[in-house]
Structure formats: C-alpha cells, structure tokens
C-alpha cells in the first residue's frame, strides 16, 4: 500500500489514520473500501457525522441536481433559495412539531464554531463571563471550546491557559449517592464560595468523547430548573448526539427540557458536508448585524443535503423507532460479550445508538486493532480511551449490524486472550 506521502508530508497531528491504516477509496451506507478493495464495516460513522451513512442516495440526488444546475455554492450569509428551503424545512419538520421557538444562527461550518458562537452570545446576553461545564466534557478544539472541555491533554495543547472557569461534576461522577446539582446550587447561593454565577452552563446529554456518560432525564430536568432559578442560560451541545443518535431528533427530548441555546453540527448536513447551527431563544437574539461573522457560513450544498435529510429521514417517527430497535440489539450483544469477560470488561452504557462498553485500556486498544484487521472500524472514548464506542450509521441494515457485532465479539475475545497469554508468559518468567 502506498502511504509514504502521508508519513513524509502530513503533519504529525494526524490521528484517526493511525488507528485505521488504509487508504480509503469508496464508501456506501455503513461500509467503506480501501484502494485494495478491502471492505470495512463502519462502527465509527465519522465520529457521528454520518448518521445516515456514507453517500445516502436521496441526498446525493439532491446535491448532484443542485451542483449541475449551477446553483449558488458560496454566499457568506446572503439570502439564497437553498437557505430558505432549509429554514422552512427546519420549522416544518423539527421546530413546530416539537413546540420549539428558536431563532437560527449560522456560524462557521464546524462544531466548535457553533460552541464558540453560543458562549459568546451567552456572555453578551448576561454580561457575565464564566461558563460552567462538566467533568469529561468535550466541546471542540478552539480556545473557547477548550476552556469548557475536561480533557487535560487537549486543553494543554492550547499553549495558553484554558482552565475550565467553573467545572462541575457530571451526572453520577461521584457515584449515584452524590447529588452533584445540590452541591452546584449550594456554591451558587454562598457569596463566599468563590463560585461566581456563570453566564451559562454547557452540557452534553450523553458525553460521547468523554466515555459515553449518560445524564439521566431526572438530572437534566433538575439542571434545567436550577439554571432557570438562577437566571443562568442552559446550552445543550447536541453536536454528536443530536440528529437522531439517541432516537429522537434532539437528545434532550426524552427529558422534556427546553434549552436556551442548542448547538448542532456533525450529522446536520446528512452527507458529511460541514454545517453547523446555533438555535437560540428569540429573546436572546441580541446580536448586532455582523457582530459574529465567518466566510463559510453559507455552505449552500450543505443546506441542500440538510434539507433533504430532514425530508427523507424525519417525515415520520420510523427512524426513531429503528434507532431504539437496533440500539437494543447492540446493547444485548455488548452485554453478552461483557459477561463472557467479567475481569476485563465492565459496564455497558449509552442511549439509542451511541453505546459503549467499559474495558481495561489495554483490551480496548487491542480490540480496535483486532477489529480493524477483521474489517471493522470502531473507536474508543473516555479518559484513558478505555470505552469501546459503537457508533454505526443509524440506517445500517440488520445483516451488516449483526456481522459487525460478530466481528467485534471476535476482536474482543482475541484482545482478552492476547492479554491472558502475555500475563501467563510474564508470570512464567
């Protein structure tokens, strides 16, 4: 395989390509092929950017038609037909049926652009500077987003201090007995606690990169009530677990809460094209024209595929039901595997079709390598990359899903066995 130019010329910062050493050439649905024609089943889904799979046919049709018609590709934030259709479809399919009234801000096209815009807006609205965030949170790699991200290694990469200004324990962080939100409220109410009332709290309902940590509906409801009581804005970062990953379009629907601000990206365009949105309550829309800006806020081909994705996948609740059904299949299989290896594997957790199994870091690392050798792409998450994270396209068919789970089981078995052999070899020395 010719991979020399990557090692010779591409920066050492490259990451995922080290876990998946191949040169990819084609992809469709939940499968990719490298240039040798080797097939891989995708349990990674572009880190959540490919909920509807690779090159979904109905979206591709809309995109090709748009491109061949010489329609607008780049437009800053000019009005275009493609943007009008997306806004109308978003109202019709997502906002109105859920009784949600949000204004829509188009920030730059990546997830961290949406988070930065949300933080900036929260500060402008409240006149406060602090943003409370949670242990194990991940919100992106630019300075503002890093400052609300838990992972020390990622924050140190900034090269300037980006210490989380107000770090709070996430749901269950200190175990089920500790009421972390009661502690938060006590800090807020004591003017000598040293904890100033923040502009906003930013939260993921399921911490994806942080290790598939699930906030309970009850905890999210309490967080919503607490933030309302103290006039703190609630920002939900739904970049990875929105767009149907947990079943419903937004991940917070199950808890019945309404955030003040919502960040969306990753699977929003439905096609892997860069696109982000900030949804904000109308009364928060205090931006002056052009106050927040960006050249690529008008990625019209992404508007076209995003509109098509809403029309195709969200016209009824069939995708939601499919996510619940397939999520149950994945969970059952992970639990079976975990029971087989009680010393190396632990809790299975997640919601919808973001599911993980806690492993020893060695087994998790070895299992991803064994899986790739067997034709399955799967990544890890968590503080020590110790959680195997099953994140397949939501549209994966049952046969491929089962095939992928069978490969995963074999890869984990092999990873555990290799560890056992190494342990007995070192015991014999």
Ligand X SMILES: *Cc1c(COP(=O)(O)O)cnc(C)c1O
Written as six digits, the tokens of 152 are 């020390």
Only segment of 111-119, 212-220, 280-288, 396-404 that touches ligand X (CB under 6 A): 111-119
Q: Binding to ligand X by residue 267, rule CB under 6 A?
A: no
For residue 388, list its beta bridge partners.
Answer: 357, 380
Q: Binding to ligand X by residue 140, rule CB under 6 A?
A: yes
Write a three-state SS string for the chain. Answer: CCCHHHHHHCCCCCCHHHHCCCCEEEEEECEEEECCCCEEEECCHHHHCCCCCECCHHHHHHHHHHHHCCCCCECCCCCCHHHHHHHHHHHHHHHHHHCCCCEEECCCCCHHHHHHHHHHHHHHHHCCCCEEEECCCCCCCCHHHHCCCCCHHHHHCCCCCCCCCEEECCCCCCCCCCCHHHHHHHHHHCCCCCCCCCCEEEECCEECCCCCEECCHHHHHHHHHHHHHCCCEEEEECCCCCCCCCCCCCCCCCCCCCCCEEEECHHHCCCCCCCCEEEECHHHCCCCCCCCCCCCCCEHHHHHHHHHHHHHHCCCCHHHHHHHHHHHHHHHHHHHHHHHCCCCEEEEEEECCEEEEEECHHHHHHHHHHHHHCCEECEEECCCCCEEEECCCCCCCHHHHHHHHHHHHHHHHHHHHHHHHHHHHHHHC
Q: Which of 115, 171, 280, 415 binds ligand X (CB under 6 A)?
A: 115
Q: Binding to ligand X by residue 106, rule CB under 6 A?
A: no
Q: Binding to ligand X by residue 51, rule CB under 6 A?
A: no
Q: Which of 31, 204, 253, 379 binds ligand X (CB under 6 A)?
A: 204
Nearer CB in complex with ligand X: 112/360: 112
Only segment of 90-98, 237-245, 303-311, 415-423 that touches ligand X (CB under 6 A): 237-245
Q: Which of 63, 90, 201, 239 binds ligand X (CB under 6 A)?
A: 239
Return the residue matching tokens 């015991």: 427
Q: Binding to ligand X by residue 368, rule CB under 6 A?
A: no
Nearest distance in Å: CB 88, ligand X: 25
Encoded one letter per residue, x for contact with ligand X by CB under 6 A and - for no contact, window 144-163 reads --------------------
Nearest distance in Å: CB 229, ligand X: 26
Nearest distance in Å: CB 135, ligand X: 14
Closest CA to 266 of 240, 247, 244, 291: 240
Nearer CB in complex with ligand X: 110/360: 110
By CB under 6 A, the count of residues binding ligand X is 15
Q: Binding to ligand X by residue 125, rule CB under 6 A?
A: no
Only segment of 234-242, 250-258, 324-332, 406-414 that touches ligand X (CB under 6 A): 234-242
Q: Binding to ligand X by residue 237, rule CB under 6 A?
A: yes
Q: Which of 180, 265, 267, 380 binds ligand X (CB under 6 A)?
A: 265
Q: Binding to ligand X by residue 138, rule CB under 6 A?
A: yes
d(CA 59, CA 158): 37
Q: Binding to ligand X by residue 139, rule CB under 6 A?
A: yes
Only segment of 18-26, 87-95, 133-141, 160-168 that touches ligand X (CB under 6 A): 133-141
Q: Which of 112, 136, 213, 267 binds ligand X (CB under 6 A)?
A: 112
Nearest distance in Å: CB 210, ligand X: 9
Q: Which of 240, 246, 251, 368 binds ligand X (CB under 6 A)?
A: 240
Nearer CB in complex with ligand X: 106/138: 138
Q: Binding to ligand X by residue 111, rule CB under 6 A?
A: yes
Residues at the site binding ligand X, with contacts judged by CB under 6 A: 110-112, 115, 138-140, 204, 208-209, 237, 239-240, 265-266
């Amino acid at each position: 395989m010719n991979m020399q130019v990557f090692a010779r010329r591409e920066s050492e910062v490259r990451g995922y390509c080290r876990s998946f050493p191949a040169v990819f050439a084609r992809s469709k649905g939940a499968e990719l092929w490298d240039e040798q024609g080797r097939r891989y089943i995708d349990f990674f889904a572009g880190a959540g950017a490919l909920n509807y799979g690779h090159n979904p046919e109905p979206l591709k049709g809309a995109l090709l038609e748009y491109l061949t018609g010489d329609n607008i590709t780049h437009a800053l934030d000019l009005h275009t037909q493609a943007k009008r259709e997306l806004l109308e479809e978003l109202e019709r399919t997502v906002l109105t049926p859920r009784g949600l009234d949000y204004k829509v801000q188009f920030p730059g096209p990546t997830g961290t652009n949406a988070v930065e815009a949300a933080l900036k807006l929260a500060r402008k609205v409240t006149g406060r500077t602090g943003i409370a965030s949670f242990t194990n949170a991940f919100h992106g790699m630019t300075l503002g987003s890093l400052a609300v991200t838990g992972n020390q290694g990622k924050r140190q990469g900034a090269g300037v201090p980006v210490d989380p200004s107000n770090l709070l324990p996430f749901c269950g962080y200190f175990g089920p007995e500790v009421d972390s939100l009661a502690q938060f409220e006590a800090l807020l109410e004591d003017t000598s606690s040293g904890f100033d009332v923040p502009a906003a709290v930013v939260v993921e309902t399921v911490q994806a990169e942080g290790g598939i940590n699930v906030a309970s509906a009850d905890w999210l409801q309490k967080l919503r009530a607490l933030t309302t009581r103290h006039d703190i804005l609630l920002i939900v970062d739904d970049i990875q677990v929105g767009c149907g990953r947990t079943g419903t379009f937004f991940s917070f629907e199950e808890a019945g809460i309404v955030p003040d601000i919502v960040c969306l990206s990753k699977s929003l365009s439905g096609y892997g094209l860069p696109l982000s949105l900030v949804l904000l309550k109308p009364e928060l829309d205090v931006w002056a024209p052009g106050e927040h800006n960006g050249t690529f806020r008008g990625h019209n081909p992404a508007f076209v595929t995003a509109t098509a994705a809403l029309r195709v996948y969200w016209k009824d609740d069939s995708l939601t039901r499919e996510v619940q059904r397939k999520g149950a299949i994945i969970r059952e299989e992970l639990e079976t595997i975990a029971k087989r290896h009680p010393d190396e594997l632990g809790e299975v957790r997640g919601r919808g079709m973001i599911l993980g199994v806690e492993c020893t870091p060695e087994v998790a690392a070895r299992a991803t390598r064994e899986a790739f050798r067997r034709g399955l792409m799967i990544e890890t998450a968590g503080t020590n990359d110790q959680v195997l994270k099953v994140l397949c396209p939501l549209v994966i068919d049952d046969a491929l899903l089962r095939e992928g789970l069978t490969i995963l089981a074999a890869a984990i078995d092999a990873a555990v066995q290799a560890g056992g052999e190494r342990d007995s070899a070192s015991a014999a020395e």
